[in-house]
Amino acid sequence: MPDVYLGPSGSETLLPPIRSFGGLPSIAIPQTNQYDKSIMSDGSPRYNVKSVNPRKWTFKWDNLTAAVFAVLKGHNDQRAALHFQNGWESSAWTWVWIAEFSPEVNVEISTAADIRWMLVMTLEEIPA
């Protein structure tokens, strides 16, 4: 399974494996751009990019320990740009921010001594 890293530059942490009860997660990366295409007098095409929609990645976990959840919550609490590498896609690093952070206690498997968390986290690319 490819590795996914997230965190402040220089102290990125490996995200836990993506686990979701009820099937494999999908990691869709929708990206649409608006542009104009013009044909030059020599016949070559030229493109004028009008706007670029940033890429988004949504991750879901159903069984996070309190310690792992605390790390991810710490990233969210920073409210700052984070360095991100998605091994599912490539080895390139990009800057993102946490657009959605929706935690919930997993009451089906949690005990008083061992709380487990469900989390949906969406990262959005910061355009260069």
Q: What is the pLDDT of residues 39-87, one digit of tens each?
A: 889 988 887 766 667 888 888 888 899 999 999 999 999 899 999 998 8
DSSP one-letter string for 71-107: HHHHHHHH-S-EEEEETTT-S-EEEEEEEEEEEEE-T
> Which residue would you say has higher pLDDT here, 127 or 68?
68
Q: pLDDT at residue 22 above 80?
A: no
Cβ count near 96 (within 10 Å)? 21
What pLDDT was estimated at residue 50? 66
Note the helical H segments in the chain.
Answer: 66-78
